[in-house]
Chains A and B, each alone.
Chain A
Amino acid sequence: MNGRPSRRSLLYLRACGLLVPRYRRREWVEEWIGELEALSDARARGRKDTYPGTLGFLAGALPHALWTRREEWTMDGLMQDVRYGLRMIRRGPGFSLVAILTLALGIGANGAIFSLVNGVLLRPPPGVADPGRMVQIARSYDEAPRWDNWSWPAFKLIQSESDAMAGVEGFSGGSFLLGRGQDTELVPGEYVSGGYFRLLGVNPAVGRLLDPGDEVSPGGHPVVVLSHGLWQRRYGRDPEVVGQVLHVGGEPYEIVGVAPEEFVGVDAMGTPPELWVSAMQRQGSRGGSVLDRWGSSWFYVFGKLAPGVSLPEAEASMDRVTAGLRSAWEENRDIRALLAPGLGLTPEERAEGRRIFLLLGGIALMVLLLTCANVGNLFLARAATRETEMGIRQALGAGKTRLVRQLVTESVAMALAAALITVPLLSGAGTTLKALFPFSLAVPLAPDLRVYLFLVGVALLAGVLFGTAPALALARRDVAHTLREGASTGGRSRTRLRDTLVVGQLAISLGLVSGAALLGRSVLNASRADPGFDPDGVLVGFINLAASGRYEGQSLVDYQRRLVSALERIPGVETAALAGQAPILGGHARSTVAAADRPDDPRARFEAEYTVVTPGYFDALDVPLLQGRTLRPPEEEPERVVVVNETLARMFWPGQEAVGQELIGGEDRFRVVGVVGDVQMRSLRSPANPGVYYPFHQEEEPYVSIHLRTRGPAPSVISAMKAAVASVDPEVPVTGITDLRSGLSRSLSETRTFGIVVAVFAGLALALSVVGLYGLIAYGVSQRVREMGIRMALGAPGRQLVRLVLARGLVLSGFGLVLGLGVALAVGWALKGALFGVGAANPSALAGSAVLLLGSGLLAAWIPARRASRVDAAVSLRE
Chain B
Amino acid sequence: MPRPLGISSLQILAAVRDGSTYGLDIVARTGLPSGTVYPTLGRLRRHGQLRAHWEDQRQADREGRSRRRYYELTPEGEAALSVGMTRVEEAARALGLRDRKATG
Contact = CB atoms under 8 A, between A and B. Distances in A.
Given A42-B28, A64-B34, 15 more contacts: A2-B64, A31-B68, A34-B55, A35-B68, A38-B22, A38-B68, A39-B24, A50-B29, A59-B34, A61-B38, A67-B39, A67-B42, A71-B42, A71-B43, A76-B46
Interface string B44-87: 00100000000100001001111111000000000000000000
A68 interface: yes
Contacts of B63: 1
B35 A63 contact: yes
A61 B34 contact: yes
A874 to B, nearest CB: 54
Interface in A22-42: 27, 30-31, 33-35, 37-39, 41-42
B33 A60 contact: yes
Contact of B27 (A2, A31, A57, A61): A57
B46 to A, nearest CB: 7
A63 B28 contact: no
A52 interface: yes
11 contacts: A1-B64, A30-B67, A31-B23, A34-B60, A34-B66, A38-B24, A41-B65, A52-B33, A56-B33, A56-B34, A64-B42
B42 A59 contact: no
Given A35-B23, A60-B33, A67-B39, A51 B28 contact: yes
Q: Which 4 A-B pairs have the closest CB atoms?
A: A60-B34, A60-B35, A63-B35, A67-B39
B68 A64 contact: no
Contact of B65 (A1, A31, A51): A1
Nearest to A67: B39
Interface string A147-189: 0000000000000000000000000000000000000000000
Contacts of B33: 52, 56, 59-60
Contacts of B39: 63-64, 67-68
Contacts of A3: 65
Q: Is the interface of B mostly helix, strand, loop or mixed?
A: helix
**Which size class do A's interface residues fall under?**
20 to 34
A31 B53 CA distance: 11
Contacts of B68: 31, 34-35, 38
Q: Is the interface of A mostly helix, strand, loop or mixed?
A: helix
A714 interface: no
A42 B67 contact: no
B37 interface: yes
B8 interface: no
A664 interface: no
B28 A35 contact: no
Contacts of A57: 24, 27, 34
Contacts of B64: 1-2
A62 interface: yes
Nearest to B46: A76
Given A62-B35, A63-B35, A35 B24 contact: yes
Interface of A: 1-3, 27, 30-31, 33-35, 37-39, 41-42, 50-52, 56-64, 67-68, 71, 76
A51 B42 contact: no
A89 B24 CA distance: 44
Contact of B28 (A27, A33, A50): A50
A14 to B, nearest CB: 14
A634 B37 CA distance: 107
Contacts, number: 81
Interface residues of B, number: 26
A60 B27 CA distance: 11
Contact of A37 (B36, B37, B66): B66
Contacts of B25: 38
Contact of B66 (A30, A51, A59, A76): A30
Contacts of A41: 65
Contacts of B46: 71, 76
A33 B34 contact: no
A51 B34 CA distance: 11
A64 B23 CA distance: 12
A731 B68 CA distance: 100
Q: Which of B27, B60, B64 has the most CB of A within 10 A?
A: B27
Contacts of A50: 28-29
Contacts of A37: 65-66
Contacts of A61: 34-35, 38
Contacts of A38: 22, 24-25, 65, 68
Nearest to B69: A31
A52 to B, nearest CB: 6
B33 to A, nearest CB: 6
Contacts of B35: 59-64
A302 to B, nearest CB: 58
B43 to A, nearest CB: 8
Nearest to B68: A34
Contacts of A71: 42-43, 46
Interface in B7-23: 22-23
Nearest to A68: B42
Contacts of B67: 30, 34
A57 B37 CA distance: 10
Contact of B36 (A58, A60, A68): A60
Nearest to B43: A71
A3 B64 CA distance: 10
Q: Which of A34, A41, A59, A68 has the most CB of B within 10 A?
A: A34
A362 to B, nearest CB: 47
B48 to A, nearest CB: 13
Nearest to B66: A34
Contacts of B38: 60-61, 64, 67
B31 to A, nearest CB: 8
Contacts of B65: 1, 3, 34, 37-38, 41
Contacts of B29: 50
A2 B64 CA distance: 8
Contacts of A31: 23, 68-69
Q: Which of B38, B60, B68 has the most CB of A within 10 A?
A: B38
Nearest to B34: A60
A50 B27 CA distance: 9
A51 B24 contact: yes
Nearest to B29: A50
Given A30-B67, A33-B66, A34-B66, A52 B34 contact: yes
B66 to A, nearest CB: 4
A30 B43 CA distance: 19
A68 to B, nearest CB: 7
Contacts of A42: 24, 28
A510 B46 CA distance: 53
A63 B33 CA distance: 11
Nearest to A63: B35
B86 to A, nearest CB: 27
Contacts of A58: 34
A519 to B, nearest CB: 56
Contacts of A35: 22-24, 68
A59 B39 CA distance: 13
A19 to B, nearest CB: 13
Nearest to A64: B38
A67 B34 CA distance: 13
B68 to A, nearest CB: 4
Q: Which of A50, A56, A59, A67 has the most CB of B within 10 A?
A: A67
